Amino acid sequence: MPRVSDMKKRLTDAALDLMWANSYGTTSVDAICERAGAKKGSFYYFFKSKSELTAAALEAEWNKNKANMDALFSPTVPPLERFDRYFDYVRDRLAERQKACGSILGCPILSIGSEVSTQDHGVRATVDRIWDRKIKYFESAIRDAHAQGLIVAPDSDAKARALFACYHGTLAQARIQNDVELLRDFKLVARDVLGVKHAYATSS
């Protein structure tokens, strides 16, 4: 096995960076190559199209985040607190990124997914897959909260999907208005969606 290269990773990193900050459509293969320090030939050696690279970039992003998600949604954390920690984590990360690029970027999966969903079946399928994996964290926390009598949510899947959609709507709004403050109160909205009984609301 001669010669190993980190170019594949550099390309997916560059692609996600640019597409998240701007959009799929305005991110050219040339720009991705330039940021990754690659030439055209290398790009098409690793990926057979921009579409395929995008799917790979989203999967890579998921893999980068998975360990954090596992920690945030660890069963050792009280279920409702998992959400609070997660929302804080995402907000902090977006705020930090805003310092670097000037914008609140929202969720790349949603932005890119919404942009290409009617046109690129491959990327859409990838988005769907990642979406489902992420929802599982929500679902399991909801099931635990229900079992502990903190909320009433017999249909944990539906509840998880509803909360996930609400959260992503808020992230999209934060991106459009470039305002991180819109994320500050989401914990309260989440409590409403979850139907948290007042007595059990976590303090933070």
The first and second tokens of residue 108, run together, are 């790349």
Q: In the range 2-31, which residues lie near a second copy by CB under 8 A?
A: 21-26
Asked if 166 is part of the footprint of a second copy (rule: CB under 8 A), the reply reads yes
Give the Cα separation of 201 and 104 in Å (integer).
28
- Which phi and psi angles does 149 have, rounded to 5°? 75, 20
Which option in a second copy, DNA, none does residue 73 bind, with CB closer than 5 to 8 A by kind?
none
List CB contacts of 70: < 8 A, sequence separation 6 or more. Answer: none
What mask, x for binding a second copy by CB under 8 A, covers residues 86 to 125?
A: -----------------x-xx---xx-xxxxxxx----x-
Per-residue CA distances from 97 to 25, 61, 108 (Å): 21, 15, 13
Nearest to DNA of 31, 172 (CB atom): 31
Nearest to DNA of 24, 186 (CB atom): 24
Q: Which stretch binds DNA (CB under 7 A): 35-43, 123-131, 135-143, 154-162?
A: 35-43
Per-residue CA distances from 54 to 6, 122, 172 (Å): 17, 9, 20
Task: List interacting residues with DNA (CB under 7 A).
Answer: 1-5, 7, 27-31, 38-46, 48-51
